[in-house]
Chain A
Amino acid sequence: MSAGEVVASFVVPVHPHTVLAPEQNAGWQRLRDAFDEAAQTIRELEADLIIVYSTTWPSIIGHQIQADPNPEWVMVDHDFHDLGSIPYSFNIDAEFAHAWDEANQNRGLQSRCVNYKGFPIDVGSVVALTLLNPDNKIPAVIVSSNMYANRSETTVLAKACLDVVKAQGRRAVAVTAMSLSNRMFTDFIEPENDKIHSLKDDEWNRKILEFLEQGRLEDVGQLSRTIHRQIRVQKVVAFKPMWWLSAMNGNRNDLTGRIMAYEAIHGAGGAVVSLDPTPSGAGDKEYDEDDVEYFHGERGVLDTIDEVEDDGGSPPQEGSKPTKQGPDLWEPTEAEGSVNTTTAPKPVGAYPHARRVGDMLFLSGVGPRQPGTNAIPGGPIHDNEGVPLEYDIRAQTHAVVENVRRIVEEAGARMDQIVDVTTFLVDMKRDFAGYNEVWAETLGKVGPTRTTLAIDALPTPIAVEMKVIVHMAD
């Protein structure tokens, strides 16, 4: 079995006009022709899986993945019902869906499969699968867009998907069903009068397309929040698809992009764009936002009873969970220049999270403990009695880097301004390789100087801690 990979990616528009009425407007027809060409490309690539991330399927409880092997119904658009109905009968890879769901949970995401007769598949997915996979030969999978998800969650969603693509050795095509600018005319128009809603929307759309044509997917991901503010109606689902698509392509800026069509659909910006993973030769550009592997989450709101902030100072109770063991927690101190955040774990003594002097920011030693719960990702290294436990150094190191990021950002600095790091490991022999691997994926990309020391123990049952110095001037 070959190693799985994403063999191509496509951005496609969501409204039903390209299926139901392409002949009514020359632009709609050009979008339709681009769809047909994309379908041809997918066939020629011998893809064996189409993965659709749809912005017209919002979800609240994590992400949902369609797992009905053969969903069948008739789709009628809420707005454009007078264009007609789209009957559908899709070929869904339920096995992949369940594996993705499991991979999501392994990476800390809330996720579930849906398999219900009559489930209303959303317009974006129906249009994409109807046109990209007209004979249903290629199995497909559809994922929702979570209305509360942020970039890290959406990135981890893609990484979990890639876990399965690789494990199953699939030749996958990644598709985002989305508008660029999504502002439609709020009144009814004649098809021949269709155009992009405003000049500003058009200019932003062209900017996005220029980036995509240069294969700069990661840069579009960086700009997503700005794009959303500028040209997106604030619906429940923000401009998230580029986060997912970028992560599906390894967060790169050197893909080979092609704009196959760009037209208005009732005022919204509709484009068919293909992104070929072949490096464009432009040279990859810097990756300037933290790369997340696991979702530690702002979620778990139902579990507030268990997750009340540690009140600090209360000694560990007998029989408390292993993660609650260790020294008392303190409120961070507040001397001049101190930087403290509730998003980082509480100190185990009287000191701040960081302290700023001029352009320099000095962080206190940072471990992997989670704020609030005090849990240790990857598990504690020993139990209450000191009996050694199995733990994951990679997960611990990731959590340390994440805590560092929270403190650095609280100070108004950036990860790429970190200049020097001292790392303490309690078991150099066992842990250096795993720690080094995570380093290479994270801080190694930023390039600070580094010193790694083996020490006897740390105050809490953790295996790794970092001491970080940041130079905040640009």
Chain B
Amino acid sequence: MAKGQIVAGCIAPHPPHLVYAENPPQNEPVAEGGWEQLRWGYERLRASLADIDYDAIVLLSPHWQTYVGTHFLGLPHFEGLSVDPIFPNLFRYHYDMNVDVELAKAIHDEAEAAGLPVKMMENPDFRVDYGTITTGHLFNPDWDKPLVVISSNRSTAYYSVEVMQEMMIELGRVTRKAIEASGKKVVVLASNSLSHRHFTTESEVPEDMSKEHITSHAMHLWDMRMIEYMRTGQAQRILDEMPEFTEQAIAESDGGGLSWLLSTLDVPTYPATLHGYGTIIGTGNAVVEWPCHAHEVSEA
């Protein structure tokens, strides 16, 4: 069997506003548009990967929050209605998705062997979180690739960013190992915002872009600093500054996605492509791709 390969790694946001603004048939509310910069960013990401062949998407979402270990969706098919508990006015999405249970179990088993507490989620009534669905939709609106969905362990809240990062670097390492052993071609996807301070009021028309801006100058500076490291192949500096970034920008990297992603990509030293940046109710969001396929030579 050929060695498995990560063809791309991405960080991409999941506020439901983006799906709302896009008006796909699966979502009930109707919008007049909005957040185009980010939606076009997703479009460029999709175009960039259109000619790249891959078998599965491995995704970590901070809205499946687990306190006891890291969990993996463990049944082949999920469908139902996802209503965002925070923005139910924007997101009521009928989803229908397939899971690569084999790959999920392989990562689960590697993580277990490495001493991480892990569990397969095998309750058929489980509702998939809206972060997974938003990013899943925007990354692949046809839903024609199976996903591996990994929960976000809340170790930042329980211990510290440093402990979270240690765990996520280990999880990233075993994710890579399992992917390589699987023989599959995979995209890894961290679904999260960068700076994460929200507005606490919503404008009359949620998609009124005249109201949209970053919550503060400091948040903007942090976002740009992180994006600059991504664009210039300095992933290690992102990991080094993760505690300060997470604390000062109240960043959604607290969910571990970004640390996990960079570790899965073996802390890349080549530049990432910024496909888009924009704010969503004040939070900072970027669509970024590390084009691993161009930098990692398959040994097969």
Contact = CB atoms under 8 A, between A and B. Distances in A.
Given A79-B68, A118-B81, A184-B67, A301 B201 contact: yes
A79 B129 CA distance: 13
A442 B125 CA distance: 52
B77 interface: no
B40 interface: no
Nearest to B116: A187
Contacts, number: 107
B297 interface: no
A122 B282 contact: no
Contacts of B129: 78
A133 B125 CA distance: 23
B158 A186 contact: yes
Contact of B123 (A76, A120, A234): A76
Contact of A84 (B88, B123, B201, B282): B123
A234 B156 CA distance: 9
Contacts of A191: none
B127 interface: yes
A78 B126 CA distance: 8
A185 interface: yes
A186 B123 contact: no
Interface string A178-213: 000001111110000000000000000000000000
Contacts of A454: none
Interface in A91-150: 110, 112, 114, 116-120, 122, 146, 148
A183 B199 CA distance: 29
A3 B268 CA distance: 68
Given A74-B125, A118-B92, A62 B200 contact: yes
A229 interface: no
Contacts of B215: 301
B232 interface: no
B85 interface: yes
* Interface SS majority for chain A: loop
Contacts of B66: 78-79
A119 B68 contact: no
A359 to B, nearest CB: 38
A233 interface: yes
Contact of B126 (A57, A61, A76): A76
B126 A81 contact: yes
B68 A185 contact: yes
B69 A187 contact: yes
Nearest to B216: A301
Contacts of B69: 186-188
B113 interface: no
Given A78-B151, A118-B92, A235-B157, A184 B202 contact: no
A266 interface: yes
Given A82-B119, A82-B123, A301-B199, A122 B85 contact: yes
Q: Which of A79, A85, A148, A184 has the most CB of B within 10 A?
A: A79
Contacts of B67: 79, 184, 186, 233
B117 A302 contact: no
Interface string A260-297: 00000010000000000000000000000000000000
A378 interface: no
B200 A299 contact: yes
B85 A233 contact: no
A85 B125 contact: yes
Contacts of B281: 60
Interface in B53-101: 64-69, 71, 80-81, 83, 85-89, 92
Given A188-B68, A188-B69, A116 B151 contact: no
Contacts of B127: 76, 120
Contacts of B80: 118
A81 B68 contact: no
Nearest to A183: B158
B68 A184 contact: yes
B201 A300 contact: yes
B85 A119 contact: yes
A110 B200 contact: yes
Contacts of B158: 183, 186, 233
A58 B85 CA distance: 8
Nearest to B68: A79
Contacts of B153: 186
Contacts of A300: 201
A300 B199 CA distance: 8
A82 B200 CA distance: 35
A427 to B, nearest CB: 35
A81 B121 contact: yes
A202 B183 CA distance: 49
A188 to B, nearest CB: 6
B68 A299 contact: no
Interface string B183-222: 0000000000000001111110000000100010000000
Interface in B108-139: 117, 119, 121-123, 125-127, 129
A59 interface: yes
Interface string A68-79: 000000101011
Given A235-B157, A302-B211, A76 B65 contact: no
A178 to B, nearest CB: 15
Contacts of B64: 78
Given A62-B201, A299-B201, A120 B68 contact: no
B173 interface: no
B155 interface: yes
A186 B155 CA distance: 8
Contacts of B125: 74, 76, 85
B17 interface: no
Nearest to B118: A188
B201 A61 contact: yes
Nearest to A301: B199
B68 A187 contact: yes
A142 to B, nearest CB: 11
A61 to B, nearest CB: 5
11 contacts: A61-B86, A74-B125, A116-B88, A116-B92, A118-B80, A148-B198, A186-B69, A187-B68, A233-B158, A301-B282, A302-B202
Given A110-B201, A114-B89, A186-B68, 15 more contacts: A60-B200, A61-B86, A61-B200, A79-B66, A81-B122, A84-B123, A116-B83, A118-B92, A186-B67, A186-B69, A186-B117, A234-B157, A235-B157, A299-B200, A301-B200
Those 5 A-B pairs whose CB atoms lie nearest each other, nearest first: A118-B81, A85-B125, A81-B123, A74-B125, A76-B126
Interface of A: 57-62, 74, 76, 78-82, 84-85, 110, 112, 114, 116-120, 122, 146, 148, 183-188, 233-235, 266, 299-303
